[in-house]
Amino acid sequence: MNTNRRDFLTLTGLTSLSLALPRSLRANTTPPHVLVIGGGFGGATVAKYLKLWGGNIDVTLIDRDASHYACILSNLVVTGAIPISRIQLGYGNLKTKRGVNIVQGEALSVDPASKEVTVKIGNDFFAYAFDKLVLSPGIDFINPAGNYNSDLTPHAWKAGPQTLLLKNQLAAMAKKQTFVMTIPKSPYRCPPGPYERACSVADYLKRKKSGAKIIVLDANASIQAEPINFGNAFTKTYKDVLTYIPNAAVSEVDSSTKTIVTSQGTFKGAVLNVIPNQRAGQIVANAGLVNDPTGKWALVNPLNYASTLYPDIHILGDSQGTGQPKSGHMANSQAKVCADAIIRGFSGEAPDPSPVTSSACFSPITSKTASWLTASFQYDPVTKAMKRVEPSFAEAPRPTSDGMEQMFHWADNIFADSFS
Amino acid sequence: MQTSSPPSHPTTLLRAANPRTLLALSAACAYHTLPAAPPPGQLLSSQCFQCHGTNGQPVSGFEGIGGENANEMHKELLEMSLRKPEGIMDLQIRAYTPAQLRLIANYLSTLPKTGETNDD
């Protein structure tokens, strides 16, 4: 439908009527419309693969920002090792190469009955009709109690301006000062990520800020990913600069004084990097789709990522509650399962009964070396859940310079596989 | 009536009551313009593309995996899944059953070889 026709229909009051028609009553040459909310790794990948595999499907991708900043490699932006432009991923290729409609706006609410999403664009509100909706908004934060302000104590757990804020605070540290960071309660986005950040910052402090220290306050009882590599880094490589404190649940934060109260004591730093506890993106909550026992995530069928509440609304990536790790690589992996199932569904077919998803991740341990972590999942028809394949689950034997090289190749390829 | 220029695609400026009555007339009807079943192995193989590039055509570093002989590729995948793990690939490959590895090898062999064409 072109703009002129839509304007005409709106003027004549017919638009609402025509969009309300079920697809089966519209001309069957009209392609189905898939609306994707959230342009991170999950949303970008599902939009791309719907077009690549699906042929005649209209796909619209809506994100509040004009481009996406990858969390992948973002700890290297914090330390100044790479510029932020290295992790900025635009939507131009999805638009011109794949034919995805790109819309910059903020999705506010979902009406599952009328199959419409309300989107704020500039100062106006629009209703977007869909045949299938995919929500991939990433995480939102559960802000800690107290005088908390992420502009003063950045989380840098959504990349972009927050990443630069933390980078500038780190660069401004004087010698012998302290960097305090927190690790949220699991599950959170990117299990190895906070430990990777601790290593990247510790390496930076050793090289650039003599006598400076980092205190790592972990809300969990132990290191949540790559316990061997991060354990060795904390107790050997960085033993003179890094203090790791497990079981440190955050009770209060004062961002103005950069003070944090935890179950393991009160800490104050020149930089306070609070990474708050996490939940599904707000639009998932607004749509009434948060229904797991913890009250934080959305339950889905892992054969197609459809909500257990509404079969035409799919949730993938960090917001879904299948128990698979929350990461960009995993979101890309799930997005392909979702795209394949949506295409099959339009043709009246059931989803693939045996999907496999995987997560690979490379983490810098020093400025010259990186480790890796991998885990893959098969669908278990008995439990109807994704089950980790234990022989596929491992961390690198040790961090290496080859690992660092592979990390950049991995980033280049997953950036391209998702966004171009 | 709001006058801002609307975004691309099927939207309507929000306004009062939508007529919904025709929803009741819904009838089952498949989408004739869509392709039939996806080829076997396509979805499984796409889980290689995060590192080996869309359709097995990497943009950086790792080897291209499109357009290889299916039997040779299958043999190589099986070997990787059985040997003592040497790197991340040997772990990743252990996610798949032997039957899935066969599907992957067959599908990848139908893709263009790296550099021969693009993925459109």
Q: How many CB pairs under 8 A join A and B?
A: 222
Instruction: Quote the pLDDT of residue B13.
Output: 57
pLDDT in tens, A391-419: 999 999 999 999 999 999 999 999 999 99
Instruction: Specify if B97 maps to a domain.
Output: yes
Q: What is the CATH number of the domain that holds A227?
A: 3.50.50.60
Instruction: Identify all chain B residues contacting A355, using CB atoms and an 8 Å cutoff.
Output: 43
Q: Does B37 lie at the interface with A, CB-CB under 8 angstroms?
A: yes
Q: Extract the tokens encoding B47.
A: 């889980």
Residue percentage of chain B with pLDDT more than 90? 62
Q: Does B34 lie at the interface with A, CB-CB under 8 angstroms?
A: yes
Q: Show Cβ contacts of residue A409 under 8 Å, excluding neighbours closer than 6 positions.
A: B51, B58, B60, B61, B62
More confident residue, A32 or B34: A32
Show which of A237, A253, A277 is a domain's final residue: A277
Quick one: average pLDDT of B30-55? 85
Q: What is the CATH number of the domain that holds B55?
A: 1.10.760.10
Q: Nearest 5°: CA angle at B119, between B115 and B120? A: 135
What is the residue range of B86's domain? 39-109
Residue B19 predicted with pLDDT over 50:
no
Task: Return the number of other C-beta atoms located less than 10 Å from residue A106's C-beta.
Answer: 15
Instruction: Specify if A358 maps to a domain.
Output: no
Split at pLDDT 50, 70, 90, the class of B11 is: low
Instruction: Quote the pLDDT of residue A397.
Output: 96
Instruction: Specify if A150 maps to a domain.
Output: yes
Per the structure, how many domains does chain A have?
2
State whether A169 and A131 are in the same domain: no
Which stretches of chain A score pLDDT less than 70? 1-29
Q: Does B102 lie at the interface with A, CB-CB under 8 angstroms?
A: no
State whether A87 and A204 are in the same domain: no
Contact at CB, B7 and A121, closer than 8 angstroms: yes
Instruction: Identify all chain B residues contacting A378, using CB atoms and an 8 Å cutoff.
Output: 95, 97
What is the residue range of A313's domain? 31-138+281-350
Quick one: average pLDDT of B85-90? 92
Q: Show Cβ contacts of residue A183 under 8 Å, excluding neighbours closer than 6 positions.
A: A194, A195, A216, A217, A218, A219, A220, A224, A275
Instruction: Specify if A413 maps to a domain.
Output: no
Q: Does B96 lie at the interface with A, CB-CB under 8 angstroms?
A: yes
Split at pLDDT 50, 70, 90, the class of B108 is: very high
Instruction: Specify if A412 maps to a domain.
Output: no
DSSP three-state, residue A378: strand
Per the structure, how many domains does chain B have?
1
Which helix (H) or strand (E) covers residue A142, if one does? Answer: strand A139-142
State whether A107 and A176 are in the same domain: no
Instruction: Identify all chain A residues contacting B47, using CB atoms and an 8 Å cutoff.
Output: 333, 336, 356-358
**Among B23, B31, B120, whose Cβ lies nearest the Cβ of A346?**
B31
DSSP three-state, residue A268: strand
Contact at CB, A128 and B27, closer than 8 angstroms: no
Provide DSSP, B49-114.
HHHH-GGG--SSSSPP-TT--HHHHHHHHHHHHHSPP-SHHHHHGGGS-HHHHHHHHHHHHTSPPT
Instruction: Quote the pLDDT of residue B65.
Output: 97
State whether A218 and A242 are in the same domain: yes
Instruction: Identify all chain B residues contacting A118, using CB atoms and an 8 Å cutoff.
Output: 14
State whether A151 and A127 are in the same domain: no
State whether A207 and A107 are in the same domain: no
State whether A85 and A187 are in the same domain: no
State whether A330 and A221 are in the same domain: no
Contact at CB, A356 and B95, closer than 8 angstroms: yes
Q: Does B70 lie at the interface with A, CB-CB under 8 angstroms?
A: no
Residue B35 predicted with pLDDT over 50:
yes
Split at pLDDT 50, 70, 90, the class of B20 is: very low
Question: Using an 8 Å Cβ cutoff, are A30 and A45 in contact?
Answer: no
Instruction: Specify if B31 maps to a domain.
Output: no
State whether A150 and A223 are in the same domain: yes
